Structures are given as structure tokens and as C-alpha cells.
Structure 1
Amino acid sequence: MKILFFLATMIMIIMIILIIVLNIISKKTFSDREKSSPFECGFDPKSSARLPFSLQFFLIAIIFLIFDVEITLLLPLIITMKTTNLLSYSALTSFFLIILIIGIIHEWNQGALEWTC
């Protein structure tokens, strides 16, 4: 029994030493300026931080957030379909979808969906 415990302890110590040695050996020491710098959403971190931010990125992010919230509001409509009658369910769903369609048409008319270079 003591021999089995001793063997298990020795195997564990050898495995720990092997893992540490392999970790040290396999480390890549190649480091340059690009790899050590942080990546910030496609912006060059070496340039000035006072560059103007593109309005198209901001508008697309806001549109995504708005429609993401609206999709989460659409999901409970599936649950209410079982508890309400068909007329009120279809009126509520149509009203909500009309609001979504009016919103996307408004964004389209304002030019928020057109990407200019």
C-alpha cells in the first residue's frame, strides 16, 4: 500500500515537472511592437486618439441596439398567443410590426443605412 502511494506521488511529481519544463520550452519569445500593443476595434493604437469617430459606425450600433430590444419585445408575443384570442393577438402583432417597419423606413429615408466612404 505504501509502495502504491509512493509510486503515485512520484508519477505526479514527474508529471508536474514535465508540464513546467514543456511550458518553458514551448514559449514563444518572439515579441514585437504590434503584438504587445492593444487592439482597439480596428483603430491604429499608435496614432492620435483625437481622430474623429465615424458616424456610420455609431448609427449602425444604435440601430442594432434598437432592433435587438424590439426583438426581445417580440418574443413574449409567442407566449401571449396561447392566452389571447386570434383577433387581439393579430392586432397587437400587426401594430408592433408596423412600428418596426415605420422605424426602418425612417432610418432609410434619413440615410442612416447608406454607407459612404
Structure 2
Amino acid sequence: MIIILSCLFVTLILSSVVMLLASLLAKKTITDREKNSPFECGFDPKGSARLPFSLRFFLIAVIFLIFDVEITLLLPLAMIINFSNIFTWTVTGAIFIFILLLGLYHEWNQGALEWAN
């Protein structure tokens, strides 16, 4: 137990020292307008660097992420077919796919999948 605590203490001290040295050595004290402005091929930027992006694109990206994560939840279903009851496996897979299709239909019905109005 004492060995684990001493290793933990040494790791904590060592990481704190490294972080302190990195923050002291990496400080940039010289700041000017040119270094703080966005670089645009050597010219002054014509617009703001923080332009808003399309809300439709954001919604499509979030929907893609949701369905992508659910596909990764389906992958283990194919791997456990040999270790489970075939009826339970089929019902579980069908319910999961039905919920996915129900969500897709809801998004389609709400108009979230239409790129242009």
C-alpha cells in the first residue's frame, strides 16, 4: 500500500513540476496586432474571423453523429449471435432497428433532413 501511495505522490509531484515549467517557459510576453489577427495570405482580413455557420449543416451533423453512434451499438449484436438465444437476439435487434427507423421517420417528418427550404 505504501508503494502505491509513494508512486502516486512521485507522479503527482513530477507532473506538477513539468506543467509549471511548461507554463513558465511557454509564455509569450510579446503580443501585437499582427500576431493576434487571423492570417489571410499576408493581407488584412476582409471580414470577421468568427463567421456563423449554417444551422442546417449543424443539425445534419448532429443527426449523423447520433445515427453513427447507434450503428456502433449494432455491431456487437452480430458478434453475440452464437452466444445468445436466437429468439431474444432477433427481438432485440428488431426493436433496436425499429427505434432507429422511428427516429429517422420523425426527423424526416419534422423537415430536419431537407437541406434547402
Normalised TM-score (structure 1): 0.58
Displacement after TM superposition at 1:65 (Å) = 0.5
Q: Which residue in the other structure is 2:90 paired with?
A: 90
Structure 1 residues 74 and 87 mapped into 2: Cα distance closer, same or farther (>3 Å)? Answer: same
Q: Runs of 5+ in structure 2 lacking a partner?
A: 1-38
Higher RCO (C-alpha 8 Å, min separation 6): 2
Q: Which residue in the other structure is 1:99 paired with?
A: 99
CA distance in 2, matches of 1:53, 1:112: 16
Displacement after TM superposition at 1:36 (Å) = 6.1
Output the amino acid matched with 2:80: T
Question: How far does the alpha carbon of each residue in 1:8-49 deviate from its partner, in whole angstroms, 9 at most, with x for none?
Answer: xxxxxxxxxxxxxxxxxxxxxxxxx86568xxxxxxx74224
Q: Which residue in the other structure is 2:76 paired with?
A: 76
- Higher Cα radius of gyration: 1
Structure 1 or 2: larger helix share? Answer: 1
The count of residues paired between Structure 1 and Structure 2 equals 78
Q: Runs of 5+ in structure 1 lacking a partner?
A: 1-32, 38-44
Query: Are 1:63 and 2:63 an aligned pair?
Result: yes
Structure 1 residues 57 and 36 mapped into 2: Cα distance closer, same or farther (>3 Å)? Answer: farther
Structure 1 residues 53 and 91 mapped into 2: Cα distance closer, same or farther (>3 Å)? Answer: same
Displacement after TM superposition at 1:80 (Å) = 1.4
Q: Which residue in the other structure is 1:27 paired with?
A: none
After the TM superposition, which segments of 4 or more aligned residues of structure 1 sit over 4 Å from their partners?
A: 33-37
Displacement after TM superposition at 1:73 (Å) = 0.1
Q: Which residue in the other structure is 1:111 paired with?
A: 111
CA distance in 2, matches of 1:57, 1:87: 40
